[in-house]
Structure 1
Amino acid sequence: MAFNPRDDSMNRDRGQVLYRYRPGQTFDHDGGYTVQVLQFGRDDEFDGPTLDREHLVQEATRFVRRWRATGRAFFAGADRAPEFPSDEDRLADRHYEVVVPGKVFCRIWPRVVRCASGGCGHVWTASDPRPGTDDWPPRCPTCGNGVGNRQLQFVFAHRCGEVSPMYPPGKCPRDHTRFRLDDRASRFRDFRWECMTCGFPLPVQWSCGSSSCCYPDKLMSPLLHSAGTAYVGQGLTLVNVTTTEEAARQSNPLYTAAVLGRWLGEITEDEFRRITDGNTVNVPDEVVDSIRVMKEAGLHDQARALRSRFLPVEADHLRDRVSKALNLDVESDETRGLAAELHTYRRILNLDRLGITRLQREARNPERRALYERYPSILASAGLSQDTYLVNDLPITYLAIGYSRAGFSPEEADLVPYRGRATRGAPEKTLLYAHPTEAEALLFPVDHERISQWLVRNELVSRSTLEDVGGVARWLVHQLGSSDGEALSRETRPEAGDPDLPVYELFGLLHSLSHQMLRALAVDSGYSETSLSEYLFPYDLAFAIYPNAGSDFSLGALRTVLEQNLDAVVTRAVDNDACLYDPNCMITNEGADHGCLQLPETACQSWNRNLSRWHLFGSPDGSRIGYWDPTL
């Protein structure tokens, strides 16, 4: 059969492409051969949601910094993202280009072919086939067989990101050059190349030849080309609420201080808009006098309201108040990232949304009104806020940043960038591939007071500490400080006494709540677990669940849940405390495996890390209190 790279059966949406068909990744083509993606072409006709390039690049550089920092923690002095722009490069954002992919360019790879004839089995490297002309796979050069020949499915991968076909040896010790592969053993280390002339066996191994490889161990790992560690796509899912007005605000030098000041309650929403819009007002003398008189009369709320309406906020005074309240450098990159994350959540609340109060007000009949009046108590019993909303068009962007091989994390492998030209003639840059979409989502804020009780009861923090800093949200920011959120993404549980332990446990609780609610929604929404995804807002102690790009089209399914059976979903989540593999799972895995809390990769934002039913239901020995313990 002639090689045809333009097989019309290979139709995939952008979400599937960025999950399964990235540059450097191999896959089994519907045409019957294995191919490798060379690069993406830009979608010049894309007319979807507007992308905030600066925000996406900022989040990508933060991801790379965290990867490097985690790698250095395990290997002092090592750079686990050597091909990305350096952290010290102040113009690093100029080296990045955000691309919405529209075309996929592939090649036949690997071109190592095995003869299907039982008496032959010759393995050889074939020439690159010409589309529409050359047959693929080709005939065996030794026996002439052309029926059933297959590409060899094995490759070699290295932690630096290098990949190689499983080439046969050049020759045996007796200078013979034809080999077959003996792969009847169950382990790669027992595979052998066998000389077809003299039968001499040779080991199956390959060494990394990349000039940029910094690992002392050059031996590459033999893998099936489609194995999970042969290519691990690394990226982020971001809520990307972008308007022209917001982009202008973010360029204001006072943006970070204003966002944090609004979050802390130091300034009002009107003051925030006035500061970030760069507007000032002329204040009449009688207004100033009125504010003074109100203060003297003890009318502090009225004085504050009048002041926020007319008096401009002093920039230096605002920065000082924010820095003192959060113990952060307002001008640092990490603090700007924190501000962007906090303000993203506030911008979501400005989107078109449907809440319980509105449901109660617009109920079509007494039965529905009675149902909606039960919702707040049901949510409260589960430690969720009654400010649960349906957001009609949550703007979600998946950002593909790079990939790793022979390992999933910085402890195991390097992060490799996508390099190339976004358009012909453009300079070569580090490419970030984006998939923007909009989806309805259920937004679940968590009860801050219940969270505080859980932390105190599990002796993770004292009540006085939480009260001194002004609540659990401020405490969380204090704990994370300028760490760029590293404590949230730790691979393993910190030891007792480690300052990261309380934050790690709190993130684990939020993550476990999200998974438990997603599982319950999968029963009552019509979506499967693979069709739903989570988005965590750790600083705001909230999470959202939305249909992902691979889901079947089901308009309004989550709205139906909110309008008809949210109480059943929440009750199912709280009551579903068992696992197929209990009691072993609850005891040895802290109640987290694929029979309970673990979800498919498409659904989980954090690689199923830091999950535990102990967070929700308590430990079997009673040493840890669950969030849904009745005594809370």
Structure 2
Amino acid sequence: MQRSRTQIATSYAPGALFTYEGGLGCCIAVPVATPYTPSSPAVAKQLFEHLAEYVESWFERAIRARADPEVLPEQCVDPVFLNNKKEPLVDPGRFSLNQPSRIGFAPDPLVFVCSNTDCGKLVEFENVEDLTRRWPQTEKRTDCRGSSSGRHEWRQIDVVFAHWSGNYAGLSPYRWVMAPDGSVNQAKKCQNCGQDEYQLVTRSSPFFSDWKFQCCNCLALKDVVQADRETLELLKPRMDGGHGNLPKEWNMLPVSYRASSVFYVQTDSFILFRDAEVTSLLSTARRSDLISRLMKLYTFPGTPLTHKEVIRQLQDNGQDAKATEYKQLMDIAAALVGDQKAVIENQLADKRTSYEAAGLIAKQHDESPVLRTQAERSQDWARRYNPIRLAIEHASLCDEVVERQGSDPSLPAVSVRNPEVCDIDPTDTAARGAYAARVDQELRRLGLDELVMLRGLDICEFSFGYTRVGSTPSITVKDREMPVRLRAFDYAEKNRRPVYILEQKNEGFYIRLNEARVIDWLASNGLGGDLPPRDGMHLGGLLIEQYADFGRFLEDYKERTADARTPRSLPSYVYLLLHTMAHHFAHAVVEYSGLEHGSIGEYVFPADLAFLVYRRGMTPDLGNLSAMWRNHGLTVLEQLLSDRALKCDGGSLCDQRGGACPACIMAPEVTCIAGNNLLCRAALNGGAPPGWDADRTPLTGYFRLAGAGAEAA
């Protein structure tokens, strides 16, 4: 079998059930060790930081799935993610980084049924060795009631039992039961006659609830039910002890192995930063430096810096010469009086202003108690939506990539305003000027300040585990909330679980919205009480001050049609706007680039009103995005405002009831950074608010603001 690296890391990752080439049978993917050395030690450090946050968030959400009966730690995450106190812990020494270049597979489940009419006899094998040993005799059986020759037509049953613990089993009539002494065994024999052969009776019904197992000897029927052995051993004694557990907690669900609910691979992604300052600045030990950096980025109000603080910040930023010059002027001023002193003080003030404009020092001292409190709280926020972490990452991305723009192909970025992106003849000044003017016009209509093409964006994606039945930490089954266990991939080598890592350098687009337009949009939608921000502070500073943790799985922002309970807030609506805009832009990219939705990724920087849309494939980058812009760039900008692009093809969900759906701007859930939450067409075009919003006042669309000049093309 030939599969791409992305497919091996996701759809064919260890634990996935799939049909072998040509539909010859069902197999399970098993890991094969393919060790990988990252391009930089910073990659592994960032990866395990993200993995630790992911596991901790999953554990906290799963263990709070219900209060009674209590959820046990073993039900939440794989034992490899727990320490000896049953607390979540990711130990890098228990994992190995692998490149997804090879994957093993084995036939499974090993339950076969005769497909001849009026037969349905079942035969089961314990493992591949048992299959190899007994298959010749099984093939020679001549007791089929549906064949004149008596020979069976064996096929694998394409239905399995799956459980939210992460376990699965073939559709076997042999049930796991617990004896009074606590031992667990398979009950194979019929309770009526003692025989152990069964047939599957489906009555041609597509509903598994209509299926039955029937004893081949006495024809007694029993339900298609199976217990998950591991959960049975864990919870049956608690039920017997009066803790309130019930059999439905360990009974598995029959489901086709082709269904997505059998296997949900768990993945995450992050931008690769070569600068160690990104991670070190976010450590507890450097909290003061972090706060100082944030105050400088978003011009938080505060008391002016003293001369000593100006010198210290210049030295911290590697500006020793400027620090020395500033100190010399300061010493001169100290020795003078009257008008001469005032002249030197004015020179100091001018230099301070120039240093502030260049970003070398903050405008004021670190005295924002709200910001300090938020910085302390941010240690517990979900990394994926943490505006403080994303602000530092954005600043580094701009330094390393976005601001290194130019026509030279060796530079990592180029503005779409630059006619070079469309290969316009350098001597045709009229055409080049017309192109730049047209792009500026379209960007103003869209409310964008920047649109930059990235020639080589370093992104790391990794997969490390999976779940079954549900893709989130809890799921409702038979009127009871069940914790979904996060499972690590099985061992690829002794005592180590594989983590599949994909380092990519692909094309992308960096897009930043106009801050004044965003402020107008927020005010138009009832969020203007604190706008514009005080004392010249950027909107991102206000967003950081008001942010409350979204949570890794956005539980308060799931799309609902009733019982809306989450109030509007500036952080949630800014993210809603940026996320919706990212999907809207990605759909235009898909339409004109030839890429598919699953090959487009996104990254959102809420405090900076910016986002990335990038190609996330591992196949050679053939320049799809640059070719798209060269051939259709202006058309893409026009289409973003077209009636067709701003309306939902699926009907009422988006245009009348708010939200989004697969017919318009939803993306495959495994590629969307927010799992298709915090997404609403009305953010752009106006209309009903998202279902989670407690305020049911219709939204004004970002493209429909008065005076925006964004009427549909």
| Same-fold call, TM cutoff 0.5 | yes
Match of 1:411 in 2: 474
Q: Over alpha carbons, which structure has the higher Rg?
A: 2
User: What CA distance in whole angstroms lies between the structure 1 residues aligned with 2:526 and 2:268?
Assistant: 33
Match of 1:57 in 2: 48
Match of 2:414 in 1: 354
Alpha carbons 2:142, 2:151 under 8 Å: kept: no
Change (3 A) 1:120 1:442: same
Q: Does 1:182 align with 2:201?
A: yes
2:440 to 363, 367, 376: 376
Alpha carbons 1:129, 1:136 under 8 Å: kept: no
Change (3 A) 1:594 1:321: same
Residue 556 of structure 1 deviates from its aligned partner by 2.1
1:399 to 439, 458, 462: 462
1:422-441 matches, cutoff 5 A: 423-424=493-494, 428=495, 431-441=498-508
User: What CA distance in whole angstroms lies between the structure 2 residues aligned with 1:72 and 1:291?
Assistant: 64
Alpha carbons 1:29, 1:35 under 8 Å: kept: yes
Alpha carbons 1:139, 1:149 under 8 Å: kept: no
Residue 256 of structure 1 deviates from its aligned partner by 3.9
Alpha carbons 1:108, 1:128 under 8 Å: kept: no
Secondary structure of 1:344's match? helix
1:526-565 matches, cutoff 5 A: 526-549=594-617, 555-565=622-632
Residue 353 of structure 1 deviates from its aligned partner by 0.7
Alpha carbons 2:291, 2:375 under 8 Å: kept: no
Residue 103 of structure 1 deviates from its aligned partner by 3.1
User: What CA distance in whole angstroms lies between the structure 2 residues aligned with 1:192 and 1:432?
Assistant: 40
Alignment: residue pair count: 613
1:85 to 82, 85, 91: 82
Change (3 A) 1:431 1:540: farther
Residue 572 of structure 1 deviates from its aligned partner by 0.6
Residue 226 of structure 1 deviates from its aligned partner by 2.3
Residue 133 of structure 1 deviates from its aligned partner by 7.2
Q: 2:661 is matched by which residue type in structure 1? A: D
Deviation string for 1:237-278 (max 9, x for gaps)?
Answer: 221223578678778943644653553357999988964889
Q: Does 1:29 align with 2:20?
A: yes
User: What CA distance in whole angstroms lies between the structure 1 residues aligned with 2:567 and 2:266?
Assistant: 28
Q: Does 1:328 align with 2:326?
A: no
User: What CA distance in whole angstroms lies between the structure 2 residues aligned with 1:445 and 1:558?
Assistant: 18
Alpha carbons 1:487, 1:500 under 8 Å: kept: no
User: What CA distance in whole angstroms lies between the structure 2 residues aligned with 1:564 and 1:291?
Assistant: 61
Change (3 A) 1:622 1:369: farther
Change (3 A) 1:274 1:210: farther
Taking every aligned residue pair, what percent have the same amino acid on both sides?
A: 19
Change (3 A) 1:324 1:536: closer
1:128-143 matches, cutoff 5 A: 128-129=127-128, 139-140=138-139, 142-143=141-142
1:389 to 452, 458, 469: 452
Q: Normalising by structure 2, what TM-score?
A: 0.74
Change (3 A) 1:324 1:527: same
Match of 1:606 in 2: 674
Change (3 A) 1:586 1:163: same
User: What CA distance in whole angstroms lies between the structure 2 residues aligned with 1:434 and 1:142?
Assistant: 48
Change (3 A) 1:438 1:274: farther
Alpha carbons 1:256, 1:335 under 8 Å: kept: no
Change (3 A) 1:375 1:41: same
1:453 to 520, 543, 546: 520
Match of 1:171 in 2: 189
User: What CA distance in whole angstroms lies between the structure 2 residues aligned with 1:148 and 1:437?
Assistant: 47
Change (3 A) 1:310 1:360: closer
User: What CA distance in whole angstroms lies between the structure 1 residues aligned with 2:351 and 2:574?
Assistant: 38
Secondary structure of 2:102's match? strand
RMSD: 4.2
Alpha carbons 2:464, 2:489 under 8 Å: kept: no
Q: 1:516 is matched by which residue type in structure 2? A: H
Deviation string for 1:37-90 (max 9, x for gaps)?
Answer: 23241335x676776222111112222233334445542464563432369969
Match of 2:11 in 1: 20
User: What CA distance in whole angstroms lies between the structure 2 residues aligned with 1:93 and 1:322?
Assistant: 36
Q: 2:254 is matched by which residue type in structure 1? A: P
User: What CA distance in whole angstroms lies between the structure 1 residues aligned with 2:565 and 2:332?
Assistant: 53
User: What CA distance in whole angstroms lies between the structure 1 residues aligned with 2:572 and 2:437?
Assistant: 35
Which stretch has the larger CA shift, 271-280 or 517-526?
271-280
User: What CA distance in whole angstroms lies between the structure 2 residues aligned with 1:271 and 1:335?
Assistant: 31
Alpha carbons 2:48, 2:90 under 8 Å: kept: no
Residue 410 of structure 1 deviates from its aligned partner by 2.0
Secondary structure of 1:121's match? coil
User: What CA distance in whole angstroms lies between the structure 2 residues aligned with 1:391 and 1:270?
Assistant: 36
Residue 380 of structure 1 deviates from its aligned partner by 2.0
Match of 1:206 in 2: 226
Structure 2: 5+ residue runs without aligned partners?
144-149, 175-187, 236-244, 335-340, 402-411, 476-482, 689-695, 709-713
Match of 2:97 in 1: 99
Residue 140 of structure 1 deviates from its aligned partner by 4.2
Secondary structure of 2:105's match? strand
Structure 1: 5+ residue runs without aligned partners?
1-9
Which stretch has the larger CA shift, 206-215 or 102-111?
206-215
Match of 1:4 in 2: none
Q: Normalising by structure 1, what TM-score?
A: 0.83
User: What CA distance in whole angstroms lies between the structure 2 residues aligned with 1:550 and 1:311?
Assistant: 39
Change (3 A) 1:271 1:598: farther
Match of 1:594 in 2: 662
